[in-house]
């Protein structure tokens, strides 16, 4: 239980020591921990050690754990019995290329005041994910400074390969499952709904990625000598691809919508209350006609409905100029975003059967899988969700959006499968943070509001009766 006076004192401490928190963010951003570039391996280790040292200074039992790739950082603080949360973040960042598009040194963070009164913290990783993960660490720091303890039991896990596929995460979770298992996992690597409205992402779409190559003749052919008579691999592939969706935007695969349910009424009503301009969503990218299922709003199409998209078609002559060949081979890459209730393996099998049905007997097709993961959704009756939502609403003075996301976050599935834990995705980034791009930034108001938000979340979770798994 947390008293109102303690909570206010911790919030006041966070406010008065914000410059110190910002200085620590600058220290972390200055470490060029680019996980995809082997030359930065030492920098990744340095970032991991910096985080472990910060946690140790706060009284955590913290250590840097080796993996076959970049190291993990694990820390535990048992100031309370329950509830127990596992907080996840990543210290690695994307490469900075193209460097000439940066207005400042990407690893020398700068403050840039804006006309709206906010200030941008500019630097690689300022938003994704160093600024985000530090909001939680700094909230813990404020609690420790004021009360000498955390109001709940906290574990932390920071990885250094999120930007390069989290290749070491699965095996690491298998080895540390008992150590890391908690009541709920919390991730700060997502966005607010808008500049003033906090959000918790409760729905993640799954993903099936497929590549196929259709082979017809044993070589490319002269279209004058073999036209009409010989199969054209690009035409076969195009006919198969064009048959994947109907004119109303729906997907044609048999059984594709098995298990798919419409939005819960309370979620649909909440989405309708959110400030969202459907027209602007498409007009901002030069379009105005929605391409998904016509019976559903754009928000539902992107967040709550499964999709099929063609990402590339390769075949024939594609260089400059003109060459009249009949392609012997054609390759295409296709993905399906899935929602709760859909089985990735069944979708993959249905897709392959569909493509095979369009391949003539004297042609062949070969498939390559690029992964398959199910959709995930957080139970709406979760007490951790309710407590976190209320805490965010109190801090920002607005109803917290329970948002979906059209993308997929594989690590959340890994934690669900390996540790059996649901995840609260709470982030304070804005859509214009330019993550992965030159001049990445994190709004100072995001950083400050994120720290204050997590101070409140920790207090709100302490009011729950934990049923700690650890």
pLDDT confidence tier of residue 469, bands split at 50, 70 and 90: very low
pLDDT at 312: 96
pLDDT grade for 116, boundaries at 50, 70 and 90: very high
- Residues 209, 325: Cα–Cα separation, whole Å: 29
83 preceded by a cis bond (ω within 30 of 0):
yes
CA distance 132 to 137: 9
The string of pLDDT tens digits covering residues 15-35 is 999 999 999 999 999 999 999
Specify the 3-state DSSP secondary structure of 128: coil
Indicate whether 151 pLDDT > 90. Answer: yes
Confidence at 422, pLDDT banded by 50, 70, 90:
very high
CA distance 84 to 182: 5
Q: Determine the 3-state secondary structure of 310 from DSSP.
A: strand
Q: Range with the lowest mean pLDDT among 122-131, 276-285, 351-360?
A: 276-285
For 364-410, write each residue's pLDDT tens digit.
999 999 988 888 888 889 999 999 999 999 999 999 999 888 777 77
pLDDT at 467 over 80: no
The full DSSP string for 223-257 is HHHHTTTS--HHHHHHHHHHTTB-TTS-B-STTTT
pLDDT tens for 249-272 read 999 999 999 999 998 888 888 888
- pLDDT, position 468: 45
What's residue 405's pLDDT? 80
Count of residues in the chain: 470
Share of the chain above pLDDT 70, in %: 99
> What mean pLDDT do residues 98-102 have?
97
pLDDT at residue 260 in the model: 95
- The pLDDT value given to residue 234: 98
Q: What domains, with CATH codes, occur in the chain?
A: 4-204+376-461 (3.40.630.10), 206-260+306-373 (3.30.70.360)
| Average pLDDT, integer, range 316-344 | 95
Structure confidence at residue 132 as a pLDDT band (50, 70, 90):
very high
**Could you tell me the pLDDT band of residue 470, with boundaries at 50, 70 and 90?**
very low
User: pLDDT tier at 278 (50, 70, 90 boundaries)?
Assistant: confident
Residues 402 and 202: beta-carbon distance below 8 Å: yes
Residue 414: per-residue pLDDT? 87
pLDDT in tens, 194-237: 999 999 998 889 899 999 999 999 999 999 999 999 999 999 99
């Amino acid at each position: 239980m947390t008293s109102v006076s303690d909570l206010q004192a911790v919030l006041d401490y966070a406010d008065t020591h914000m410059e110190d928190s910002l200085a620590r963010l600058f220290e972390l951003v200055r470490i060029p921990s680019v996980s995809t570039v082997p030359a930065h391996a030492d920098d990744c280790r340095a970032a991991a050690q910096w985080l472990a040292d910060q946690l140790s200074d706060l009284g955590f039992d913290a250590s840097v754990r080796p993996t076959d790739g970049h190291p993990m950082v694990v820390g535990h603080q048992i100031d309370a019995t329950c509830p127990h949360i596992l907080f996840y973040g990543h210290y690695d960042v994307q490469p900075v290329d193209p460097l000439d598009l940066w207005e400042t040194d990407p690893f020398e963070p700068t403050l840039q005041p804006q006309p709206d009164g906010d200030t941008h913290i500019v630097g690689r990783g300022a938003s994704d994910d160093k600024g985000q993960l530090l909001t939680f660490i700094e909230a813990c720091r404020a609690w420790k400074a004021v009360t000498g303890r955390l109001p709940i039991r906290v574990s932390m896990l920071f990885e250094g390969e999120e930007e390069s596929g989290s290749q070491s995460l699965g095996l690491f979770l298998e080895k540390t499952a008992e150590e890391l298992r908690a009541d709920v996992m919390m991730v700060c690597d997502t966005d607010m709904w808008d500049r003033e409205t906090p959000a918790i992402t409760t729905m993640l779409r799954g993903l099936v990625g497929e590549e196929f190559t259709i082979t017809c003749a044993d070589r490319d052919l002269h279209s004058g000598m073999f036209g009409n008579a010989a199969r054209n691999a690009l035409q076969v592939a195009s006919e198969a691809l064009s048959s994947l969706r109907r004119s109303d935007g729906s997907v044609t695969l048999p059984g594709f919508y098995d298990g798919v349910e419409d939005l819960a009424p309370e979620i649909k009503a909440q989405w309708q209350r959110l400030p969202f301009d459907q027209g602007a969503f498409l007009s901002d990218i030069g379009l105005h006609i929605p391409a998904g299922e016509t019976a559903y709003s754009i928000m539902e199409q992107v967040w709550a409905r499964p999709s099929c998209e063609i990402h590339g078609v390769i075949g024939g002559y594609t260089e400059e100029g003109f060459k009249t060949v009949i392609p012997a081979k054609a390759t295409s890459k296709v993905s399906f975003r899935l929602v709760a209730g859909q089985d990735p393996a069944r979708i993959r099998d249905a897709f392959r059967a569909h493509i095979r049905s369009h391949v003539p007997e004297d042609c062949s097709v070969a498939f390559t899988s690029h992964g398959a993961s199910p959709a995930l959704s957080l139970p709406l009756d979760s007490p951790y969700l309710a407590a976190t939502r209320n805490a965010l609403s109190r801090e920002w003075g607005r109803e917290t959006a329970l948002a979906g996301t059209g993308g997929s976050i594989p690590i959340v599935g890994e934690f669900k499968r390996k540790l059996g834990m649901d995840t609260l995705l709470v982030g304070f980034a804005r859509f214009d943070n330019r993550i992965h791009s030159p001049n990445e930034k994190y709004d100072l108001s995001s950083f400050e509001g994120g720290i204050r938000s997590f101070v409140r979340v920790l207090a709100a979770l302490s009011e729950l009766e934990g049923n700690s798994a650890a």
